[in-house]
Amino acid sequence: MAIVYDTYQRDEAERLLPLLKVDDPRRVVAMHDGQTITAAQFIAHVERVAAQLPEASAAVNLCEDRYAFLVAFCAIALRGQANVLPPSRAPQAVEEVMAAHPGCHVVGDRPLHPAPLRFHVLPPLPVDEPAPDALAWPAISAAQIAAVGYTSGSTGTPRPNEKTWRSLHASTAGNLRMLQAVVGESFSVVATVPPQHIYGVEMSILLPLLGDVQVHSGRPFFPADIATALESMPAPRVLVTTPVHLRALVESNVTLPPLAAMLSATAPLPPSLAAQAEERFGAPLLEVFGSTETCAFASRRVTLDSHWSLYHGVHLHPQPDGTQIEAPQLDTPAVLADIVSLHDEGRRFELCGRHADLLEIAGKRASLGDLTRRLLSIPGVQDGVVFQLDEADAIGVRRIAALAVAPTLNEHAILDSLRASIDPVFLPRPLRLVESLPRNETGKLPRAALLGLLHV
């Protein structure tokens, strides 16, 4: 077995995969500063940036413009370096990931004040400069570590996860297959999520490398800006977003151009919000399931089916404390904390909660996910979360707490509504009303921020 493994490792290290799948050098890969960028122009930009990068094993990619991030991402990989993707662009978060990768440098598309150590601003990326007539199409070792994604910290300290170029190719192929089944072979993407998050990398950075996809370079935030960005892109259009941004769109008076699909991830999508979004914008809303550790591996349209459909080649194996997953993008099986129930001979699954979220008090069971869903279903609750505290009570049971955004309600009214749908032993105490939840750029809730807000 060792000989077979060594042979596989050697073959994998020698195998090259293309930086860009090329059918036509004139294919548009991005819309940047209002102008289209062709495949040939993109490769020229990547090689120009790669030639100016310093020697290092890794680079923290802080580019905010999506096209600049794409160019930097590929240039860093082309130089044999890993793209380090911090859980946020906050100075402390950047310092922490740099400390974990000694000797790394930092790449950005605009000056930062204060600037991190070894910070380099990208050179100009001229969109009106013609690509050279003769252009070599680069390739990268399949075994190279191309990215290191960090978890959000919603369950504790952010953790690093390495991604090889082969793994990214495999996960992108799965995402393309899922989207193309709904919108067709060619489409354009506008995304509201930051490119540093693994969901943003998967759905707004990597897709143009393997498919006939073009992305909008911006990161629109307000509903009117999202509409403007979508208007600038050709149909069919896909909006990559989160439940937080989606709710703001639904509640606004903005009119969006025709959409082929909407995509949501990073936080649970309430079925009622999905139904409102589909009715409001006349397009299917797809929800993606995955993690920083695994990348996306399943999807569903919650307005039609509560079960998740697995991507091609993905297999789940339920275990007492979670679920083992085999997927084309994983070199070895991984174990998720999620508890699932398989259906249709393992092709679909129902999410029953996370092992760490399952509660047992006085012989009764519940899950934090279900309790949060019931909190959000209360009329007048605009946002909310139920979570466990670190400390236990006098009999050793960890207490349950909740934060809620509900301007027209008080704590007693919310607890009274919860009593009608859950066992009293699972009522969150304390329950605190807040103006807003401390969601990060992708809508996730870092545990430290929740605890800090609860004890204010």
Burial class for 397, CB neighbours closer than 10 Å (0-12, 13-18, 19+): middle
Q: Between vectors from CA 194 to CA 189 and to CA 195, what angle results, nearest 5°?
A: 70
State the sign of the Cα–Cα–Cα–Cα dihedral 263, 108, 155, 387.
negative
Question: In sequence order, which ranges of 294-431 are alpha helices (DSSP H)?
Answer: 368-376, 411-419
pLDDT of residue 6: 44
Nearest to 203 by CA among 241, 149, 259: 241
Nearest to 300 by CA among 337, 350, 371: 350
> b/e for 166-183, b at 16 or more Cβ within 10 A?
bbbbbbbbbbbebbeebb
pLDDT of residue 356: 61
**What CATH number is given for 15-306 in this structure?**
3.40.50.12780
Return left, alpha or beta for 90; rule: phi > 0 is left, psi -120 to 50 is alpha, else beta: beta
- Bridge partners of residue 16, in order along the sequence: 141
Confirm whether pTM is higher than 0.85: no
Tokens of 348: 């679909």
Return the half-sphere exposure (C-beta side, CA atoms, 13 A cut-off) of residue 409.
24
pLDDT of residue 391: 58
One fold for 15-306 and 362-454: no
Pick out the chain residues at pLDDT < 70: 1-14, 131-134, 152-156, 354-358, 360, 362-365, 390-398, 442, 456
- Bridge partners of residue 120, in order along the sequence: 107
Peptide bond into 160 cis (omega under 30): no
What are the structural domain ranges in the chain? 15-306, 362-454
pLDDT of residue 10: 47
CATH class, range 362-454: alpha beta
